[in-house]
A and B are shown apart, each in its own frame.
Chain A
Amino acid sequence: MTSIEAQVLQPYKYGFVTDIESDDVPLGLNEDIIRLISRKKSEPAFLLEWRLKAYRHWLTLSEPTWANVHHPPIDYQAIRYYSAPKQQKKLDSLDQVDPKLLETFDKLGIPLAEQKRLSGVAVDAVFDSVSVATTFRAELAKYGIIFCAFSEAVREHPELVEKWLGSVVPASDNFFAALNSAVFTDGSFCYIPKGVRSPLELSTYFRINASSTGQFERTLIVADEGSYVSYLEGCSAPVRDENQLHAAVVELVALDDATIKYSTIQNWYPGDENGKGGIYNFVTKRGACRGRNSKISWTQVETGSAITWKYPGCILQGDNSIGEFYSVAVTNNHQQADTGTKMIHMGRNTRSTIVSKGISAGKGQNTYRGLVKILKGAEDARNYSQCDSMLIGDQCGAHTFPYIDVRNASAIMEHEASTSKIGEDQIFYCKQRGLSAEDAVSLVVNGFCKEVFKELPMEFAVEAQNLLGISLEGSVG
């Protein structure tokens, strides 16, 4: 493989820093910091209590060590838990958003200004610890859809927040979820009323900008009976030598006959070619198919982050409910990923599908870890799992840890796995037909990922393909 390795590394495209004055809390974590964050956000008492409870529980936990990733210990007192760009208190319209922020999102390909917006997509833009703008809100409101910053939902729809917050990922769920529950600052909230099919794709773009700052956002999506929503999240961060922590929580609730399609294109700064810097992406995502015939589908394209630790799962409570997980995870240079899903079958006739594509290049380590659990009452449950790994070069690794726990004999389980190596022969074959090395790699890799990409909304499938090309540039020559 040595002869196909030398090529110029494409620098990370989104690594710029926005120079903007920010309102920060001091470094470190204690109850006063949590009270301060809560006060800054003018939160109701129940939420502060919830945060403090989570924090006290977090103190009793220790960082999980079972994942197949390695990093120096994280100093939680060296992290800043809140940083927000300074701006006028109350914004009547987007025109009042700091032009620097608008420009930042413009540069990221997420235009927020009225005339330039992406058609068909409503965007909530989160910058460090706060949401700076949400587009198309009025249009969505006509359908009764609530789509806003989480902190706004806390103020304007406290009853909905109180009802659903922590209902899928309890504050005590795990170390990082507990930390998030204590300090989360913003994120998106989304409620689709009964029988409504969202006319727009909803999306949130997360941007980390400030240094020494962690991002702890929380997303909560509730799809009421018979509703449908497709939601997409994207993210990026500046190039920095330090490792920054991103510990998010995403909770989805689908009631009877509701469908939530959740897509992620994760492009946090992955660190440099020597493994310096990059985001630690330690995220808890879970969806509950509470209702009959409900469906939650996760699609993720994970190309960024120094370390990715996430297992978007589905709790299939309602009879006939469906859970899906489609994943492409790429690790290049020194990136590490330990990702997969959890499908918990509780209801009758529940179905789950898992399609995981891991691509390792450079010295990257890629682990699929997935749990399929069929509980006693889950009559006639079915699962299909497919885990494919592709290796580029001979210094990377692919690992698969499927956990299967079946407690009902009527279950039907299928598991397929494969590992392949992108070969000099494949590249040469493409070159012999006139394709460049880059196009050849992108062709082979995109073919490998096709089953996942076809699950993405059209506009983003193209973005994902391009992103994949960039992430792997330099891995094959």
Chain B
Amino acid sequence: MSTGSGKREAGGVILDIRGLHATVANDAKNEILKGLDLTVRAGEVHAIMGPNGSGKSTLAAVLAGHPAYTVTGGTVTYLGKDLLEMAPEERAREGVFLAFQYPVAIRGITNSYFLRSAVNAVRKHKGQEELDPLDFLQVLETKLKQIGWDDSFLNRAVNDGFSGGEKKRNEILQMAVLEPTLAILDETDSGLDIDALKTVAEAVNALRRPDHATVVVTHYQRLLNYIVPDRVHVLAGGRIVKSGGKELALELEEKGYVGV
């Protein structure tokens, strides 16, 4: 599934953010990101932590190209390309995946149909043949086995009537099937009980690959007991104010954001 662009071997730079500024609704008074720097390499898991309102979800949304945010300065390079120049769907097709904090429901469309449409959009982009429903079912079954889940989600409408935990699991299922180069998990732990948290974390771990990278956005250390990060960053006031190894997360848990 290699796109052949950029450095994909372990250690190669997947994402490079320099001096990123972003506002809500193109309103200069509403600047949320104020000069953010971050480098993510292949094979790494990064955790972005920070108090409410620090800009964590904004960062996730800006990377995915959400139209509610405007980038007012800085650069974002993804696999050597200017990510900010790409339309949201193009970013997705190039391997950027956002697991939403609040996934939306689509009535009347089954998960398996939705997933197949998504996979085929990516395949078409890469010049690969689209999968018919039978071929796709095989791909799905392989993936479900890999993350150890059953197929009860597949014939339900996308997130329609799903519990909070089910929605989060569904995001991870989509991630599993789409095999993104860069996965961004936005508060995937919020609203999950401890068992669901473990299930989701195990799936994320099972999907780790040396040529892919994961950015986990969270404000609790809890998730990081299960998805162990290589780097932890503290985001405050729209900037990364501190970075460190996984022990930084524990320190945060102990002293709080103010203490660090």
Task: Return the contact of A425 from the options B104, B158, B178 (Cβ within 8 A).
Answer: B104
Give the interface segment out of A59-67, A331-339, A441-449.
A441-449
* Chain B residues closer than 8 Å to A424, beta-carbon distance: 67-68
Interface string of B102-115 (1 = CB under 8 A from A): 01101111000010
Indicate if the CB atoms of A4 and B121 lie closer than 8 Å.
no
- Interface presence of B59 (CB below 8 A): no
Indicate if the CB atoms of A451 and B117 lie closer than 8 Å.
no
Task: Tell me the smallest distance from the CB of B60 to a CB of chain A, in Å.
Answer: 11
Indicate if the CB atoms of B108 and A434 lie closer than 8 Å.
no
* Chain B residues closer than 8 Å to A446, beta-carbon distance: 108-109
Task: Tell me the smallest distance from the CB of A416 to a CB of chain B, in Å.
Answer: 14
Task: Return the contact of A435 from the options B100, B103, B118 (Cβ within 8 A).
Answer: B118
Interface string of B70-96 (1 = CB under 8 A from A): 000000000000000001110111000
A436-B121 contact in complex given A4-B67, A443-B114, A446-B109, C-beta closer than 8 Å: yes
* Chain B residues closer than 8 Å to A93, beta-carbon distance: none
Task: Return the contact of A429 from the options B68, B93, B100 (Cβ within 8 A).
Answer: B100
* Chain A residues closer than 8 Å to B114, beta-carbon distance: 433, 443
- Interface presence of B64 (CB below 8 A): yes
* Chain B residues closer than 8 Å to A439, beta-carbon distance: 117, 121
Task: Mark out the residues of chain B between 145 and 202 whose CB falls within 8 Å of any chain A CB in the assembled complex.
Answer: 157-158, 174, 178
A308 to B18, CA, bound (A): 56
**Which B residue's beta carbon lies closest to that of A453?**
B108
* Chain B residues closer than 8 Å to A4, beta-carbon distance: 67
Interface string of A93-132 (1 = CB under 8 A from B): 0000000000000000000000000000000000000000
A428 to B92, CA, bound (A): 11
A447-B108 contact in complex given A433-B114, A434-B125, C-beta closer than 8 Å: yes
A447 to B117, CA, bound (A): 13
Please report the total number of A residues contacting B with Cβ < 8 Å.
Answer: 25
**Which A residue's beta carbon lies closest to that of B88?**
A431
Task: Tell me the smallest distance from the CB of A171 to a CB of chain B, in Å.
Answer: 42
Indicate if the CB atoms of B68 and A433 lie closer than 8 Å.
no
Question: For this complex, into which size category does the number of interface residues on chain B fall?
Answer: 20 to 34
- Interface presence of A432 (CB below 8 A): yes
- Interface presence of B122 (CB below 8 A): yes
* Chain B residues closer than 8 Å to A423, beta-carbon distance: 104
- Interface presence of A426 (CB below 8 A): yes
A429 to B99, CA, bound (A): 10
A431-B106 contact in complex given A424-B68, A436-B121, A443-B114, C-beta closer than 8 Å: no
* Chain B residues closer than 8 Å to A437, beta-carbon distance: 89
- Interface presence of A3 (CB below 8 A): yes
Indicate if the CB atoms of A429 and B118 lie closer than 8 Å.
no
Task: Return the contact of A443 from the options B68, B92, B117 (Cβ within 8 A).
Answer: B117
- Interface presence of A86 (CB below 8 A): no
Indicate if the CB atoms of A436 and B109 lie closer than 8 Å.
no
**Which A residue's beta carbon lies closest to that of B64?**
A432
Task: Return the contact of A434 from the options B106, B107, B109, B122 (Cβ within 8 A).
Answer: B122
A449 to B108, CA, bound (A): 8
Task: Tell me the smallest distance from the CB of A420 to a CB of chain B, in Å.
Answer: 8
A429 to B87, CA, bound (A): 13
A433-B67 contact in complex given A443-B117, A446-B109, A447-B157, C-beta closer than 8 Å: no
Interface string of A400-441 (1 = CB under 8 A from B): 000000000000000000000001111011111111110100
- Interface presence of A39 (CB below 8 A): no
Indicate if the CB atoms of B88 and A432 lie closer than 8 Å.
yes
A447 to B156, CA, bound (A): 12
A447 to B106, CA, bound (A): 7
A432 to B65, CA, bound (A): 8
Binding site of A, secondary structure by majority: helix, strand, loop or mixed? helix
**Which B residue's beta carbon lies closest to that of A444?**
B106
Indicate if the CB atoms of A426 and B106 lie closer than 8 Å.
yes
- Interface presence of B42 (CB below 8 A): no
Indicate if the CB atoms of A443 and B106 lie closer than 8 Å.
yes
- Interface presence of B222 (CB below 8 A): no
A447 to B160, CA, bound (A): 11
* Chain A residues closer than 8 Å to B242, beta-carbon distance: none
Indicate if the CB atoms of A434 and B118 lie closer than 8 Å.
yes
Task: Tell me the smallest distance from the CB of B39 to a CB of chain A, in Å.
Answer: 23
Interface string of B227-250 (1 = CB under 8 A from A): 000000000000000000000000
**Which A residue's beta carbon lies closest to that of B100?**
A429
**Which A residue's beta carbon lies closest to that of B125?**
A434
- Interface presence of A450 (CB below 8 A): yes
**Which A residue's beta carbon lies closest to that of B120?**
A434
* Chain A residues closer than 8 Å to B65, beta-carbon distance: 431-432
Interface string of B44-79 (1 = CB under 8 A from A): 000000000000000000001111100000000000
Indicate if the CB atoms of B121 and A434 lie closer than 8 Å.
yes
A447 to B108, CA, bound (A): 4
Most chain B CB within 10 A, of A433, A436, A451, is at A433
**Which A residue's beta carbon lies closest to that of B177?**
A433
A447-B118 contact in complex given A428-B66, A429-B100, C-beta closer than 8 Å: no
A431-B108 contact in complex given A3-B67, A439-B117, A439-B121, C-beta closer than 8 Å: no
A450 to B125, CA, bound (A): 28
Indicate if the CB atoms of B89 and A434 lie closer than 8 Å.
yes
Indicate if the CB atoms of B104 and A426 lie closer than 8 Å.
yes
- Interface presence of B98 (CB below 8 A): yes
A320 to B131, CA, bound (A): 46
A446 to B157, CA, bound (A): 12
Indicate if the CB atoms of B121 and A433 lie closer than 8 Å.
yes
* Chain A residues closer than 8 Å to B93, beta-carbon distance: 434
28 A-B residue pairings within 8 Å (CB atoms)? A3-B67, A423-B104, A424-B68, A426-B106, A428-B64, A428-B88, A429-B100, A429-B103, A431-B92, A432-B91, A432-B92, A433-B114, A433-B118, A433-B178, A434-B92, A434-B121, A434-B122, A435-B117, A436-B121, A443-B106, A443-B109, A443-B114, A444-B106, A444-B109, A446-B108, A447-B107, A447-B157, A450-B109
Query: Which A residues have a C-beta under 8 Å from some C-beta of B?
Result: 3-4, 423-426, 428-437, 439, 443-444, 446-451
Query: Which B residues have a C-beta under 8 Å from some C-beta of A?
Result: 64-68, 87-89, 91-93, 97-98, 100, 103-104, 106-109, 114, 117-118, 121-122, 125, 157-158, 174, 178
Supply 19 further A-B pairs (C-beta < 8 A) apart from A428-B66, A429-B100, A450-B109: A428-B64, A428-B88, A429-B103, A429-B106, A432-B91, A432-B98, A434-B118, A434-B178, A435-B117, A435-B121, A436-B89, A437-B89, A439-B117, A443-B114, A443-B117, A444-B109, A447-B107, A449-B108, A450-B107
| 7 closest Cβ pairs, A-B complex | A447-B108, A450-B108, A434-B121, A433-B118, A447-B109, A434-B92, A431-B88
